[in-house]
Amino acid sequence: MKIYKYLKKSGKSTVSAVVDMAKLTQPTVSYHLKEMKDAGLLKSLKVGKEVFYSINEGCPSNTIGCFLAKSNF
């Protein structure tokens, strides 16, 4: 939830910035970002070696992920 709120506030962020904010290891953050992306909550954009994550404002399907993405936290 902390990662989601951070991305909602910042607009987009790199994995390393999320690691610094969350005070978690890079593998842990990468795992959670992948899970949120797979659930349709996040989208990513690779620029060189950096991957930027942001909130997916669109709904890929009518799932709980879309409900959470549209909620105000």
What is the reported pTM? 0.76
Q: 67 falls in which pLDDT band (50, 70, 90)?
A: low
Residue 26 makes CB contacts below 8 A (sequence gap 6+) with 15, 16, 19
Nearest to 56 by CA among 47, 46, 48, 45: 45
Q: Taking a C-beta distance cutoff of 8 angstroms, is the pair 53, 42 a contact?
A: yes
CATH class of 2-70: mainly alpha
List pLDDT tens digits, range 42-57: 999 999 999 999 999 8
Q: Taking a C-beta distance cutoff of 8 angstroms, is the pair 32, 42 a contact?
A: no
Sign of CA dihedral 44, 63, 8, 16: negative
List pLDDT tens digits, range 20-29: 999 999 999 9
Cβ count near 5 (within 10 Å): 11
